[in-house]
Amino acid sequence: MIDIKFLREEPEKVRQNIRNKFQDSKLPLVDEVIELDAQRRKTQQSADDLRQKRNSISKQIGGLMAKGQKEEAENLKKQVSEFSDELAALEAEQTRLEEEVTKRMMIIPNIIDPSVPIGKDDSCNVEIEKFGEPLVPDFEIPYHTDIMEKLHGLDLDAARRVAGNGFYYLIGDIARLHSACISYARDFMIDRGFTYVVPPFMIRSNVVTGVMSFAEMDAMMYKIEGEDLYLIGTSEHSMIGRYIDTIVEEDSLPHTLTSYSPCFRKEKGAHGIEERGVYRIHQFEKQEMIVISKPEESMIWYDKLWKNTVDLFRSMDIPVRTLECCSGDLADLKVKSCDVEAWSPRQKKYFEVGSCSNLGDAQARRLGIRVVSSDGRKYFAHTLNNTVVAPPRMLIALLENNLNEDGSVRIPEVLRPYMGGKELITP
């Protein structure tokens, strides 16, 4: 959510930002907010004036009562009573107008960074840099489900009977490899100075609307029936929610956290053949990184975060690239975002394994996360998040890039301590 003062003073910049995100249907919201906000401020001024009059008359009543002028005092009391009724009506109108303004402000997209490329959808995303040499072996690489099943590590049929499509059983060495990835990612981030956290896996609705847009919420979140609770789609949701309505000491920033959680997502819509198996699923586990920073440091941390993911994948000899998300591919709260994509030797192309985002003060403004400086100045924090690793997709990259012609899979050296020293998974 942007600053309403900015919208008042720079409405054309807000409109252009909406156009840059190809959301022209939201353009009328700018004028609506300006008009409603003007009404709200006028109503607030009327209420303030009325309170001042009421307080002044109340003081007069006290003086008249002290002088024994009861009749005059009673007449003024009637006037105060009338003021109170009028004030209640003004306060109710002010509340209504505030709610109408907020409702519109919540769906006006955040102002994107000037460096973001303008484009309508993900087809306009821009490659930034490649890391590692993408190789294609001289033997055919099967689809990832076939690799796992040959290693007796995956059972999709049983998962469908138990929970439906979009779920899976991981078994044996594949399940162990999955856990090894999570454990290694946890320790990798701890070694980089991040504090490890296991958060709640459910959050209340006020946290949901604070950390994401309504469109994202509808597409992703599972609601717990009969409760004001949602299953998290990523630990970022509850990690940022931890700071709701808090004031953070400036001297304590940045807060650098890495969190583990299961993630639950609806994943609405039909998906192509490359998204079956364990690529796009309703339940998975993830290691995340989250930063709460000063505004002037958030872009520095943005670069540090995506580089952490690149370094982690390269430590396992998996080639990756970074892809700058264009304006139309950014969620409404994001200022800037890039994807980290791993090389798929089977597809002979890269695919997404992580996403790094700077949300500016949008989440902090919605959730009331403020910073106080040593001189007492208060301002909204900036929040950032990035995927360390999400093993179902990472497993695909790991298996394809470490597959041998005989069907066995090399275990990257950094993962071997988490696999009991095992170097190879064999059929």
Instruction: State whether 90 and 137 are in the same domain.
Output: no
Domain count, the chain: 2
Q: What is the pLDDT of residue 277?
A: 83
Q: What is the pLDDT of residue 245?
A: 97
Higher pLDDT, 74 or 172: 172
Reply yes or no on whether the pLDDT at 188 is more than 90. yes
Reply yes or no on whether the pLDDT at 402 is more than 50. yes
Among residues 54, 78, 105, which one ends one of the domains?
Answer: 105
Instruction: State whether 263 and 386 are in the same domain.
Output: yes
Provide the mean pLDDT of the chain.
93
Closest by CA to 332, choosing from 206, 213, 211, is: 213
Reply yes or no on whether the pLDDT at 62 is more than 70. no
Among residues 52, 71, 105, which one ends one of the domains?
Answer: 105
Among residues 47, 75, 105, which one ends one of the domains?
Answer: 105
* Residue 117: inside a domain: no
* Residue 111: inside a domain: no
Beta-strand relationship, 378-380 and 409-410: unpaired
302 and 336 in contact (C-beta within 8 Å)? yes
Residue 345, domain CATH: 3.30.930.10
Q: What is the pLDDT of residue 86?
A: 82
Higher pLDDT, 165 or 39: 39
Closest by CA to 32, choosing from 61, 9, 7, 55, is: 7
Q: Any idea which of 50-59, 229-238, 401-410 has the lowest mean pLDDT?
A: 50-59
Question: What number is the average pLDDT over the span 353-373?
Answer: 97
Question: What number is the average pLDDT over the span 322-329?
Answer: 98
Instruction: State whether 35 and 128 are in the same domain.
Output: no
Instruction: State whether 95 and 135 are in the same domain.
Output: no
Q: What is the pLDDT of residue 209?
A: 92
103 and 95 in contact (C-beta within 8 Å)? no
Token digits of residue 414: 């950094």
**First vs last Cα of the chain: how many Å apart?**
52
Q: What is the pLDDT of residue 270?
A: 45
Q: What is the pLDDT of residue 73?
A: 65
267-280 residue pLDDT tens: 765 455 455 788 88
167 and 160 in contact (C-beta within 8 Å)? yes
Reply yes or no on whether the pLDDT at 396 is more than 90. yes
Instruction: State whether 212 and 336 are in the same domain.
Output: yes
Reply yes or no on whether the pLDDT at 191 is more than 90. yes
DSSP 225: T
Residue 54, domain CATH: 1.10.287.40
- Per residue in 390-404, is it b (16+ CB within 10 Å) or e — as a string? bbbbbbbbbbbbbbe
* Residue 82: inside a domain: yes
Q: What is the pLDDT of residue 49?
A: 86
Instruction: State whether 177 and 49 are in the same domain.
Output: no
* Residue 115: inside a domain: no
Q: Which long-range contacts (CB under 8 A, 24 or more apart) does 37-44 make?
A: 37/4, 37/8, 37/97, 37/101, 39/97, 40/94, 40/97, 40/98, 40/101, 43/90, 43/93, 43/94, 43/97, 44/94
242-301 residue pLDDT tens: 999 999 999 999 999 999 999 999 976 545 545 578 888 999 999 999 999 999 999 999
Closest by CA to 220, choosing from 240, 243, 244, 236, is: 236
Q: What is the pLDDT of residue 104?
A: 96
* Residue 167: inside a domain: yes
Instruction: State whether 84 and 163 are in the same domain.
Output: no
76 and 64 in contact (C-beta within 8 Å)? yes
Instruction: State whether 98 and 167 are in the same domain.
Output: no
Q: What is the pLDDT of residue 50?
A: 83
Q: Where are the beta strands (DSSP E) in 105-241?
A: 126-131, 154-155, 169-170, 195-197, 202-203, 222-223, 230-231
Closest by CA to 352, choosing from 267, 274, 285, is: 274
Output the pTM of the full model: 0.90
Q: Where are the beta strands (DSSP E) in 310-377?
A: 320-324, 336-344, 349-358, 370-372
* Residue 44: inside a domain: yes
Instruction: State whether 168 and 281 are in the same domain.
Output: yes
Instruction: State whether 169 and 100 are in the same domain.
Output: no
Which domain, by its residues, includes 386?
122-425
The DSSP annotation for 173-199 comes to HHHHHHHHHHHHHHHHHHHTTPEEE--
108-150 residue pLDDT tens: 999 999 999 999 999 999 999 999 999 999 999 999 999 999 9
* Residue 116: inside a domain: no
Instruction: State whether 138 and 67 are in the same domain.
Output: no
Instruction: State whether 98 and 163 are in the same domain.
Output: no
* Residue 113: inside a domain: no
